[in-house]
Amino acid sequence: MKKIYLGCFLLGTFFANAQTEIDAIMMSKNRFCVGSVYQYSSWDKYWEGTNKRENLNLGKVSTQSIGVMGNYGITDKLNVLFNIPYVITNASAGTMKGQEGIQDLSLTVKYMPFEKKIKNATYSLYALGGYSTPVSNYTVDYLPLSLGLGSQVASFRLMGDYQRGKFFTTVSGAYLFRSNVTIERNTYYTNEMHYTNEVDMPNVININARAGYRSDRLIAEAIVDNWVTQAGGFDITQNNMPFPSNTMNALRLGTNIKYTLKKIPELAFIGGTNYVIDGRNVGQSTSFYGGAFYVINFNKKAK
Amino acid sequence: MKNKIQITISKSLLILLVAFNYACNDDITERNNQFPQLNPTNADELAGTWKPILLTSPDEFPLDAPIATTLPAYTREINEIKSYQANITKDQQAIIDYWSVGGVLRWNEIMRTLVAKHNRPPFQNPDGTYPIPSGANPFANPEFPFSNPPYSARAYAYVSAAQYDAMIAAWHYKKLYNRPAPFVVDATLPVLIPKSSLPSYPCEDAVLAGVTVELLKLLFPTEIAFIQEKAEEEKLYRIISGANVRSDVDAGISLGKKIAAKFIARASTDGAGAAVGNQDLWTLLETQTAATGETPWKSLELPARPPMLPLFGKVKSFLMTPAMVVASRPGPPPSTKSEQFAKELAEIKAFSEDNSKKHQEIVTFWADGVGTYTPPGHWNAIAAEAFVEQNYSEVRWARNMALLNLSMMDAAISCWDAKFFYFNPRPTQMDSSIKTTTGIPNFPAYVSGHSTFSGAACTVLSHILPAKTENFKALAREASDSRMFGAIHYRSDCEKGLILGETVGNFAVARAKIDGAE
């Protein structure tokens, strides 16, 4: 018998991935912004269904990820972004072995079809299309220590931004289509038995709202993020193992800062933190991240 | 220019959206939905003479003679079938599609579902002790049962053995009363499933439902509503499909229930209820092993959990006497102070660090831990998928499943006997740096349960389907190896477990050779 009863950590990495693309900032034409972000995320309590508990056989479950990401301006209004993280998981107690490896490559096309200045305010609209896919054959059915959920995800996001002076608000909503995943078992029980190694993954809606201060040099914002699994998921029952197609919901609060150096305007640093205030079948994780980005200008006559 | 880009982007996004919507709605095909309708190549007409497990004779429990098919009351039963058939709903058609694959198979699947659903260890009390599920109070927290591997091995065995005896009795009475099937009496009656050449009284599906429901009420008391619903479906399926009239079905239920009572009486005195032990026993196990100079097993769970069913080795087997259990017990594991032990521990430490994807796949495939149908359930699934190809009659299905599950119950008894006789530690207890890629079971290591179950199942299935021997051997070997790859068992546990499994499997094979079915 397995004796470890587990929760889920996965949202941490998803959120880290999402940080750079959900902002209302476009890379201008022929500029390539490349950087790296390190994130540390951990929890010692999780929601087993709606029941919040701890698990002495896991202790503190942590996920570290270091991602390489980039954003290229095809035009001022059209950017492509990528992100690829290396992930390390660990449980501080119990006997279960942590995992490490490359997780999912995500690619995003970000398009700004509308931007208009009315008096002191700027209004803009964005459409984002994303695709992510596992790039290593990590074990999916090993929650909460697996590197990811193994699903190919297509996401479609609409985003609106309002800026007045140095203050702004950005609101976006996304629908994430998740492909079936293949697990190593050929039979599994959700709330019924399935005689297949394929798992139907419920889709997800994500709502993200952020507001704060934004100038050329400094962005400081507060973030509310809500991740809601759609129909088809199910809850972890008491003392059971988590499963990739569990209903995983998380309401998260966070802050994010980006600072661009005065003397080297190509170089910017980011940092932030977020915390899950309510969830379902996920760990109550606290995350910290920090990274640096550098902009390379491919315009021959730039400056 | 800009317009063009805009259009291209919108188009690509749309295509992506459509493509993904399609890809994500891709339906999953499940193996058990692909099984064909049961149409036995051999009806096993003489199965009424096969040797039962617990019944003293096939007519130990009497069954009244049916009314004549020439009576108006019988005609009214035919009319019932016709009235159902005049308007078959979608749900009714689904019931026919589901059950016509075979009653023994479907009940076996239902059992696997119940085992998986209830295979969850109790959550600890605030003071760090653990509550014990109680059959007398099944809805309390924790619910009864915790269908762990020994519990489920015994449950599968009781249901399969009782179904087998019930099928023998059914076949006996079919031949005795020789009542023709409704579609023989009334040639105009449409039949929605393959026609059986057997007499129809009593209905074999109803006998199965009758015997199985009663046993499942005992084994999974919180699931009675669900179990009854399934039984009602199975009865309805026989009538709507035109295979049986209601009096065939009613007689079957009544016969099945009587046979179940005999198995239930046995189950209440087989020692399983006392297998959990108590604090005095748990302490004794530790001190008596320590007294030999060996390191006694310790729970690695937090908080420490009492060992799983330490007295399961004393449960009364169907095929082995207590003396045979002791005689089959493997010799002691390598002493924790021996060179051999150090070598085996080092091997497991190496597995725990190898990060092999292939090993991880094997570990996960065979883990069969919390929330699953357990290793015996895994072997039931393997057997069922092999048997489907054979087009067995229901009585042969029941017989083969009974042999398999009796041997795995014996595997559980013999394996637990060895585990609690030697009470030796897991690799991680001896070297806490050994991390595992599956949960560490909460009982001693020697011998491996997976290996014993697999050795027994492989032996019985290879006897039943000799052409697949190599396939079953490879599966058993892989199941056994998976416990080393996962770093939770030593090589001795696995190798000696496979041998023990083969030993107990051979008791079932010996029975198979003389039960009249071969």
DSSP string across B248-317: HHHHHHHHHHHHHHHHHHHHTTSSGGGTT--HHHHHHHHHHHHHTTSPPP---SSS--PPS-TTGGGSPP
- For residue B12, being part of any structural domain is answered with no
B19 located within any domain = no
What would the two tokens of residue B354 be?
């190898």
Are B224 and B307 part of one and the same domain? Answer: no
Handedness of CA B251, B255, B260, B261 (dihedral sign): positive
Residue type, B59: D
Asked whether the beta carbons of residue A96 and residue B439 sit closer than 8 angstroms, the reply is: yes
Domain count along chain B: 2
Of A36, A109, A118, residue with least CA distance to A77? A109
Same domain? B248 vs B315: no
Q: Which of B9, B20, B372 sits opposite A189 (nearest CB)?
A: B372
- From CA A238, how far away is CA A246, in angstroms rounded? 13
Q: Is A49 on the interface with B (CB under 8 A)?
A: no
- Cα separation of A244 and A150, whole Å? 9
List, as ranges, residues 428-457 from B with C-beta within 8 Å of A. Answer: 428, 434-442
Cβ–Cβ < 8 Å for B415, B434: no
- CA of A67: how far to CAs of A14, A260, B263, B335, in Å? 12, 20, 61, 48
Determine whether the interchain pair A95/B17 forms a contact, defined as Cβ–Cβ distance below 8 Å: no
Residue B174 has what pLDDT? 98
Evaluate the CA torsion angle B301, B408, B329, B449 in order and state its sign: negative
Q: B300 and A95 in contact by Cβ < 8 A?
A: yes
Q: How far apart are CA A71 and CA A27, in angstroms?
A: 7
Same domain as B197, residue B305: no
* ipTM of predicted assembly, 2 dp: 0.94
Predicted confidence (pLDDT) per residue in A26-78, tens digit:
899 999 999 999 999 999 999 999 999 999 999 999 999 999 999 999 999 99
* In a domain? residue B10: no
> Based on the domain organization, do B477 and B355 belong to the same domain?
yes
Query: Which residues span the domain enclosing A68?
Result: 11-297
> Considering the domain boundaries, does residue B11 fall inside one?
no
Q: Is residue B320, in this structure, part of any structural domain at all?
A: yes
d(CA A298, CA B461): 69
- Binned at pLDDT 50, 70 and 90, residue B3 comes out as low
pLDDT digits (tens, 9 = 90+) for A264-278: 999 999 999 999 999
Structural domain contains residue A177: yes
Same structural domain, B301 and B223: no
Q: Which domain holds residue B171?
A: 39-124+141-267
- Domain tally, chain A: 1
Record the tokens describing residue A59, joined without a space: 């202790």
Q: Is residue B238 part of a domain?
A: yes
Residue B34 lies in a domain: no
Read off the pLDDT of residues B214-228 as tens digits, 9 standing for 90 and up: 999 999 999 999 999
What share of chain B in percent tops pLDDT 90?
Answer: 95
Q: How far does the CA of residue B231 sit from the closest CA of chain A (Å)? A: 18
Mean pLDDT for chain A? 90
The encoded tokens of residue B27 equal 């339906």
The reply to whether B260 and B341 lie within a common domain is no
Q: Which of B370, B428, B483 to mutate to test the interface with A (most CBs of A within 10 A)?
A: B370
Read off the CATH number of the domain in which A23 is found.
2.40.160.40
Do residues B246 and B316 both lie within one domain? no
Query: Is some CB atom of chain B closer than 8 A to the CB atom of A262?
Result: no
Q: What share of chain A is helix, strand, coil (3-state, %, to 5)?
A: 5, 60, 40
Decide if A3 is inside a domain.
no
CA distance B352 to A97: 8
Which among A141, A188, A241 has the least Cβ separation from residue B370? A241
Domain boundary among the residues B208, B237, B267 is at: B267
* Domain match, B254 and B288 both: no
| Cβ atoms of residues B459 and B509 within 8 Å | yes
On chain A, the residues whose CB falls within 8 A of the CB of B302 are 56-57, 93-94
CB contact under 8 A, A240 and B370: yes
CATH of the domain at B500: 1.10.606.20
Identify whether residues B84 and B150 lie together within a single domain: yes
Residue A73 lies in a domain: yes
Q: Is A212 left (phi over 0), alpha (psi -120 to 50) or beta?
A: left
Is B33 a member of any domain? no
Q: Which of B479, B447, B290, B283 is nearest to B368 (CA)?
A: B479
Look up residue A74 and give its DSSP letter: E
Q: Which residue, among B128, B118, B122, has the nearest Cα to B142 in the 3D structure?
A: B122
- The answer to whether residues B350 and B201 belong to one domain is no
Q: Give the closest-approach CA distance of A271 to chain B in angstroms.
A: 31
Residues of A with CB below 8 A from B437's CB? 96-97, 142
Q: Are residues B338 and B212 in the same domain?
A: no
The reply to whether B259 and B317 lie within a common domain is no
Last residue of a domain, one of B219, B243, B267: B267
Q: From residue B371, how far is each of A75, B205, B383 by CA, in Å?
A: 52, 29, 21
CA nearest to B132, candidates B305, B261, B301: B305
Q: Among B218, B246, B267, which residue terminates a domain?
A: B267
CB contact under 8 A, A3 and B442: yes
- Report the alpha-carbon distance of residue B173 to residue B205 in Å, rounded: 14
Q: Specify if A4 maps to a domain.
A: no
Tens-digit pLDDT profile for residues B41-58: 999 999 999 999 999 999
- Divide the 303 residues of chain A into consecutive groups of 10 and give the mean pLDDT of each group: 29 42 84 94 97 97 95 95 95 97 94 94 96 95 95 95 96 96 97 97 96 94 95 95 96 95 94 96 96 91 49
Give the integer Cα–Cα distance in Å for B495 and B499: 7
Q: Mutate which of A51, A76, A95 to test chain B, going by most B C-beta atoms within 10 A?
A: A95
Residue A87 within a domain? yes
Q: Encode burial over B440-455: b for 16+ CB neighbours within 10 A, e otherwise.
A: bbbbbbbbbbbbbbbb
